[in-house]
Amino acid sequence: MRGVALTELTPSFVCALGAAAARVLGNGTWLIGRDTRESGSVLENALLEGLQSEGALVVLCGVTPTPALALFSATHQAPAAMITASHNPYTDNGVKIFAVGGVKLSDSVESQIETQLEIGLLADADRRATGAAVAPPTHVDSAVEHYVDHLVALFPPNALAGMRVVVDCANGAMSVAAPAVVRALGAEVTVINAEPNGTNINADCGATHPASLAAAVISDGADAGLAFDGDGDRVIAIDEHANVVDGDRLIALGALQLKHEGALTNDTVVVTVMSNLGFHRAMRDAGINVVATAVGDRYVLEALDAGDFAIGGEQSGHVIYRHLATTGDGLLAGVRLLHHVTVAGHSLADIAAAVMTTYPQVLVNVRVNERHPRIATELASEIARVERELGGEGRVLVRASGTEPLVRVMVEAASDDLARRLADQLASVVRERFAAHS
């Protein structure tokens, strides 16, 4: 759940959410982590009160990357809640809940929590737990240290020796862990955007704003750069020429690396429908099957678990090594990429360029009066016309946003001009039929 901190995502709402989660997932030990937003402490206290109102014992892990909290949840076999709005600005915040073992919730469990939350909000009861029966929370600072040690142990000693790397921590939860891991593996590290002050998380930095990292890579003469988002579950890389290496290329390289190691289960990789056509063709040429899901890392995780597949993710930089982690882990994915570079003996620019050819992709968002979950069916004839014009050398995707009253029109084609023209044509049809008018 995500919204504007303290106004949309209010402390009373988060308190009620904590109580609802405890009623559904149990009132034993719970873990709470947060990113570096100034609203994090207030919402942490609210969540604590809600969990305690149902008798839960709470362990406060402080500022912790999402994958570190998920790992701690798996290690201690306890449910966990991460207070973060990921890549959003500091004014937003949210709550991610993990089931026991650090895994995302199923649809049925989410529905149960939503039902309990609605009941609690309607009752508007005072959930603040008081009295001797309530155990005070335990504060630990070992979750990040545990995560660092865990990641370092996954790689050979000095696996990154000889590399010069710039790490952009987005002034977020990776500000301690990411530099520590990359240094421990032998790389020479320059750290930027690792001085969080509560309001600078994701501010013109990190995975959604890689320009400052690209400039630092060039000025430092680095071999590569890694940029994380606010809670550290996604990563974008920068090669030595300041080119962006996005999630599609990270996943493609990771799949090939696993295949070479004999660890690519069923020779299959999982991505969302937004992955570039060039990715699909590269995987086909490598003899790797592709499973495509709806947009969202939770759907990627579901497909990974259903098929016991080893890797999947999103173009945005969520990369999930499912046999090594329970959720998207930007640092794990980034370090595996750097290790791939050292083992390959070629530059990041060379291996990233060779792994796939990216088809020009144009995305147009059209604001509409209401959500249209069946928009592709409603525009079937128009979509078919565009597909005929592409002649098999491109792809069309029209879908409703899952979180906003938007229709997203995406066209891939052999040229930028063709992709732009066809995307604009489809977007015009959406505006004429469904657009919100002021």
Query: Which residue bears the tokens 């008798």?
Result: 55
Specify whether 93 is located in the same domain as 46.
yes
- pLDDT of 392 reads 86
pLDDT at 422 over 60: yes
Contacts of 116 (CB under 8 A, 6+ apart): 19, 20, 21, 23, 24
For 64-84, what is the mean pLDDT? 98
Q: Does residue 119 form part of some domain? A: yes
Q: Is the dihedral of CA 32, 37, 38, 39 positive or negative?
A: negative
Q: Is residue 135 part of a domain?
A: yes
Q: Identify the helix (H) or strand (E) that includes residue 179.
A: helix 177-184
**Same domain for 132 and 13?**
yes
Q: Decide which of 202, 219, 242 is a domain's last residue.
A: 242
Whether residue 60 is contained in a domain is answered as: yes
Residue type, 92: D
pLDDT digits (tens, 9 = 90+) for 351-378: 999 999 999 999 999 998 887 788 889 9
Q: Could you tell me what percent of the chain has a pLDDT over 90?
A: 88
14-55 per-position pLDDT tens digit: 999 999 999 999 999 999 999 999 999 999 999 999 999 999
How many domains are contained in the chain? Answer: 4
Same domain, 236 and 249: no
At 295, the pLDDT band (50, 70, 90 cuts) reads: confident
Does any domain span residue 196?
A: yes
Q: What integer pLDDT is reported at residue 131 of this predicted model?
A: 42
* Catalytic one of 39, 73, 86, 316: 86
Is residue 343 domain-resident?
A: no
DSSP 61-126: EEE--HHHHHHHHHHHT--EEEE--TTS-TTEEEEEEEETTTEEPPHHHHHHHHHHHHHHHHHT--
Contact call for residues 137 and 18 (beta carbons, < 8 A): no
Does position 438 have pLDDT exceeding 50, yes or no? no
Residue 122 lies in a domain: yes
Last residue of some domain: 113, 141, 169?
A: 141
Which residue, among 7, 79, 84, has the nearest Cα to 44 in the 3D structure? 84
- Indicate if 205 and 175 belong to the same structural domain: yes
CA angle at residue 96 from 128 to 149, to 5 degrees?
110
Question: In this structure, what token pair is assigned to residue 238?
Answer: 């920068």
The amino acid sitting at 55 is G
| Averaged pLDDT of the chain | 94
Q: Is 201 helix (H, G, I), strand (E, B) or coil?
A: coil
Residue-number span of the structural domain to which 297 is assigned = 245-330
130 shares a domain with 6: yes
Q: Kindly state whether residues 383 and 265 are assigned to the same domain.
A: no
CATH number of the domain bearing residue 271: 3.40.120.10
The answer to whether residue 35 is domain-embedded is: yes
**Spatial strand order in the sheet of 188-192:** 188-192, 164-168, 224-228, 235-239, 244-245
**47 & 103 share domain:** yes
What mean pLDDT is predicted for residues 170-175?
98
106 as an active site residue: the answer is no
Mean pLDDT for 404-429 is 93
For residue 432, give every residue at least 6 positions away whose Cβ sits within 8 Å of its Cβ, in sequence order, or none: none
Residue 132 pLDDT class (50, 70, 90 cuts) = very low
| 249, 238: one domain | no
Shared domain for 280 and 168, answered yes or no, is no
Taking the CA atoms of 213, 215, 219 and 225 in sequence, report the sign of the dihedral they define: positive
User: In whole angstroms, how far apart are CA 210 and each of 70, 101, 165, 206, 436?
Assistant: 26, 33, 14, 6, 33
Q: Are residues 295 and 181 in the same domain?
A: no
* Shared-domain flag, residues 12 and 111: yes
User: Could you read off the pLDDT of 191-246 as tens digits, one per residue?
Assistant: 999 999 999 999 999 999 999 999 999 999 999 999 999 999 999 999 999 999 99
Q: Is 124 left (phi over 0), alpha (psi -120 to 50) or beta?
A: left
In a domain, 352, yes or no: no
Tell me: do 190 and 264 sit in the same domain: no
Predicted TM-score of the model (pTM): 0.91
Q: Which of 214, 242, 270 is the last residue of a domain?
A: 242
